[in-house]
Amino acid sequence: MSQPFRIGIAGLGTVGTGVIKVIQKNGDLLALRAGRPIEIVCVTAQSKSKKRGVDIGGYRWIDDIPAMADVDGLDAIVEVIGGSDGPAKALIEKALKKGIHVVTANKALLAHHGQQLSQMAEDSGAGLAYEAAVAGCIPIIKAVRESFTANRISAVYGILNGTCNYILTTMRETGCAFGDVLSEAQAKGYAEADPSFDIEGIDAGHKLSLLAANAFGTVPNFGAVEMTGIKDIQPIDIAFAGELGFKIKLLGIAKFDGKQLVQTVEPCLVPGQSPLGSIEDVYNAVFVEGDFFETPLLTGRGAGEGPTASAVVADIIDLARGHKIPAFGIPAARLKVPEYIDSSNIVARYYLRLSVLDEPGVIADLSAILRDLNISIESMIQRGRDPGQPVPVVLMTHKARFADIQEACARIDKLRTSIEPPRAIRVEQDL
């Protein structure tokens, strides 16, 4: 048998213990596929005494995290601590400088420092693999970086956060408010105690910036992702969307025309029966548009111990086989800096929900504002009659520039008859 591929695992939480379980259970199979045994040499985490649910007695414990890179004869370090800076970054940098391969699930770190880390890996000849960082068990990084390489890719988009998809699915099914569904998701372990990265769209933004870099050959730039989360989505919007044949999904969308790049994470209306509209609960799904293929939809569980560990171990096998390519598919120094376009330039249909007093002349005032901004209305729902009281009015627009939609909302909000700030949600009709 060939020399073992010797690894250290930094982080023994959900993903780290999952990786150990996979290697302990499927060791024979992994050795066959990798052409050599995968041997866990050392591990580290914050607490040495914590019960982990896996036997780590046979592995050397490392107290000082970056010191793992000094362990003799390590081929790869698996970093599953997390965080865009701190010990995870210190360890990865040290390992890459020494030519030790790195496998990580850390999207935050790569979204912030991806180009620099990719360069370090290239300089020392190390591999930097991170399939688990984006969409769990869906092999989307490999697909974009290795399988779709014949194409110029113009768009990559999808449902990139399972927690948000679970919350939106449950809100639709139960009619419950966001806060109640979030509490239930936390109780079930689908949402973190601090859910802000998920519900504010930050986690999806990290993943989108990595997908965009691989798809377009541009520098990963999380700072250029515009993010709107889901906490302002109300049951009434989900219900109206349903009446109109749509579902609300948190979408990450990156579009590139060879020069200009727009990256957004925001709740959107998608046709309820479309492939994306059918992705429910904690599932993720990613579409890619290239010039020589239809748009394949890849879907699967985006997080959790098994799916994430499975993706981490697949990367370990690749490296053990000697398979490594630049982290973003092309040399780090060749990654382009595109012209970033902000969302005000996006042209799309919009769902507008207004809360206005039920009085004569209100619809005429709204129509005048929209007319002045060249926004035409495709359909309107006005529910209930309650003279003098607030009633909801929903407008579906034809395609309009988001800047004009924002201006219309600002003008409507100033009307005496407008009771709540208007709510605008982008409609992605063709997804």
For the annotated catalytic residues, the residue numbers are 207
CB of 250 closer than 8 Å to CB of 201: yes
Site for ligand NAP in 65-94 (CB under 6 A): 65, 80-82, 86-87
The helix-helix angle for 162-174 and 178-187 (nearest 10°) equals: 120
310 touches ligand NAP (CB under 6 A): no
Give CA–CA dist 347/305, Å, rounded.
39
Query: What minimum distance in Å lies between the beta carbon of 16 and ligand NAP?
Result: 6
Query: What minimum distance in Å lies between the beta carbon of 141 and ligand NAP?
Result: 12
Residue 87: partners with Cβ closer than 8 Å, 6 or more residues away: 10, 65, 66, 81
Comparing CB distances to ligand NAP, the nearer of 235 and 306 is 306
C-alpha dihedral sign at 51, 52, 53, 55: negative
Give CA–CA dist 407/163, Å, rounded.
32
Of 9-17, 22-30, 174-182, 320-328: span binding ligand NAP (CB under 6 A): 9-17
Among 2, 24, 50, 323, interactor with ligand NAP by CB under 6 A: 50
CA distances from 229 to 226, 357, 387 (A): 10, 28, 34
Query: What minimum distance in Å lies between the beta carbon of 152 and ligand NAP?
Result: 29
Give the number of residues in contact with ligand NAP, rule: CB under 6 A: 25
Comparing CB distances to ligand NAP, the nearer of 133 and 268 is 133
> What does the per-residue mask of binding to ligand NAP show for 16-35, with x meaning CB under 6 A?
x-------------------
Residue 156: partners with Cβ closer than 8 Å, 6 or more residues away: 144, 208, 211, 212, 215, 254, 286, 287, 288, 289
Comparing CB distances to ligand NAP, the nearer of 132 and 269 is 132
Binning the chain into helix, strand and coil, the percentages to the nearest 5 are 40, 25, 35
Among 303, 317, 354, 395, interactor with ligand NAP by CB under 6 A: 303
Give CA–CA dist 58/194, Å, rounded.
34
Which residues are paired to 7 by β-bridges? Answer: 40, 76
Residue 123: partners with Cβ closer than 8 Å, 6 or more residues away: none
Residue 49: partners with Cβ closer than 8 Å, 6 or more residues away: none
Site for ligand NAP in 211-250 (CB under 6 A): none
Among 114, 304, 338, 392, interactor with ligand NAP by CB under 6 A: 304
Count other C-beta atoms under 10 Å from residue 176's C-beta.
Answer: 16
β-pairing verdict for 347-357 and 377-382: unpaired
Site for ligand NAP in 159-198 (CB under 6 A): none
Query: What minimum distance in Å lies between the beta carbon of 296 and ligand NAP?
Result: 22
Query: What minimum distance in Å lies between the beta carbon of 65 and ligand NAP?
Result: 5
Query: What minimum distance in Å lies between the beta carbon of 279 and ligand NAP?
Result: 17
Query: What minimum distance in Å lies between the beta carbon of 68 and ligand NAP?
Result: 10
Among 5, 7, 8, 11, interactor with ligand NAP by CB under 6 A: 11
Give CA–CA dist 103/124, Å, rounded.
15
Comparing CB distances to ligand NAP, the nearer of 197 and 402 is 197
Among 9, 15, 202, 394, interactor with ligand NAP by CB under 6 A: 15
Q: To which H or E segment does residue 418 belong? A: strand 418-427
The helix-helix angle for 402-413 and 362-372 (nearest 10°) equals: 150
Among 46, 260, 345, 389, interactor with ligand NAP by CB under 6 A: 46
Query: What minimum distance in Å lies between the beta carbon of 161 and ligand NAP?
Result: 10
Place of tokens 């697909």: 143
> What does the per-residue mask of binding to ligand NAP show for 94-133, with x meaning CB under 6 A?
-----------xxx------------------------xx
Q: How many residues does the chain have?
A: 431
Comparing CB distances to ligand NAP, the nearer of 303 and 394 is 303
Give CA–CA dist 331/343, Å, rounded.
29
What residues line the site for ligand NAP (CB under 6 A)?
Answer: 11-16, 45-47, 50, 65, 80-82, 86-87, 105-107, 132-133, 136, 303-304, 308
